[in-house]
Amino acid sequence: MNTVDSLLTKPFLGMTPEAKLRVKALGPEEPGIHIEQSAKDRGKGYTRSWTRTGVTDLKHLAEKIKRHDSSESHLTNVLKLSLFGKSNIALQLNEAYRKGVIKHNEEVDKNCYILSKLIDCVKFCGAFELALRGHNETEESLNPSVFRGLVDFVSRIDSAMEAHLKSATVFKGTSKTIQNELLDCMREVTRETTVQQLRSTDYLAIQADDITDISTKTQSVLVFLHIDGNSKLVERFYCFSYLKDSSADTISAAILNELNLILPERSGKEKLIAQSYDGASVMRGAPGGVKKQI
């Protein structure tokens, strides 16, 4: 299996590792070569048998062999052959990489678990309409926020959460920035789910109202109602939209902007069969009120 004809039929690179090791153990083929070539050198004739392809000039064969021995490709192949079957650095690196991936995935799973507990605490506050933050959220505070209190309570009954709070140096998850980011992410997931439900339902209705928050900024509140797959009425809060004023034109523009994003196709717009509003600003003028414009 180490002959030239055999290697031409089944190349070395296509063999199994075991077959490669056997070829390496056998070493190169050393066939008996009878050389005859008719030529003249300095007026003297001689006969040597050689080949019609490859090196046909035996006079410069030694020089070409030395040049080949020092070539980059030959040295690389000799090194690969000598290392073949010994401790494989590539395999060792692959094993280290594999262990690194396993460790990374374990860290990701742990972080996902901690994040799920933090999200549960945020959801609890939302379900009972409790404020997440308090006036003093320091470690020494005797009356921290509800969110911090929930996180501390979870850490007492969950060893993974307790270990995280004690060892975390980069991400602990209790800061107001993380709370806001969690709320934003949860809002986006909820809105995406709501949009899919609204696009798949046959009919829907909207409720809207304008309110003023504690910073005296006017906001529009948009709520959707639709029938789900079980023929049950579902009510979904969708968004707050800041308004420059409380006029019918401004409120209508805000509502239409959201409707066009949710139901971009004409067939989708035909699903809207009912609308309900509150407040004097939306009722001004039968031709120009919010109801008429929508």
Q: Residue 199: name the closest of 277, 272, 251 by CA.
A: 272
pLDDT at 140 over 80: no
pLDDT at 90 over 80: no
Rounded percentage of the chain residues whose pLDDT exceeds 70: 82
Q: How confident is the model at residue 112 (pLDDT cuts 50, 70, 90)?
A: very high
Among the listed ranges 14-23, 141-150, 267-276, which one has the minimum average pLDDT value? 141-150
Among the listed ranges 14-28, 202-216, 233-247, which one has the minimum average pLDDT value? 202-216
Segment 224-251, tens digit of pLDDT: 999 888 889 999 999 888 888 778 888 8
pLDDT for position 172: 84
pLDDT for position 293: 86
pLDDT for position 145: 79
Tokens linked to 272 = 């809207």
* Mean pLDDT score, 80-101: 74
Report how far residue 179's alpha carbon sits from residue 122's, in angstroms, rounded to the nearest whole number.
8
pLDDT at 163 over 60: yes
Report how far residue 26's alpha carbon sits from residue 206's, in angstroms, rounded to the nearest whole number.
83
Among the listed ranges 69-83, 124-138, 156-170, 259-273, which one has the minimum average pLDDT value? 124-138
Report how far residue 94's alpha carbon sits from residue 89's, in angstroms, rounded to the nearest whole number.
8
pLDDT for position 269: 86
Segment 29-81, tens digit of pLDDT: 876 766 666 666 677 766 666 566 666 666 777 888 888 888 888 888 888 88
pLDDT for position 229: 82
Q: How confident is the model at residue 19 (pLDDT cuts 50, 70, 90)?
A: confident
- Considering only residues 208 and 40, tell me which one the structure prediction assigns the higher pLDDT: 208
Q: For every residue of the chain, which 3-state class applies, written as one string?
A: CCCHHHHHHCCHHHCCHHHHHHHHHHCCCCCCCCCECCEEECCEEECCECCCCCCCCHHHHHHHHHHHHCCHHHHHHHHHHHHCCCCCHHHHHHHHHHHHHHHHHHHHHHHHHHHHHHHHHHHHHHHCCCCCCCCCCCCCCCCCCHHHHHHHHHHHHCHHHHHHHHHCCCCCCCCHHHHHHHHHHHHHHHHHHHHHHHHHCCCEEEEEEEEECCCCCEEEEEEEEEECCCCCEEEEEEEEEEECCCCHHHHHHHHHHHHHHHCCCHHHHCCEEEEEECCHHHCCCCCCCHHHHC
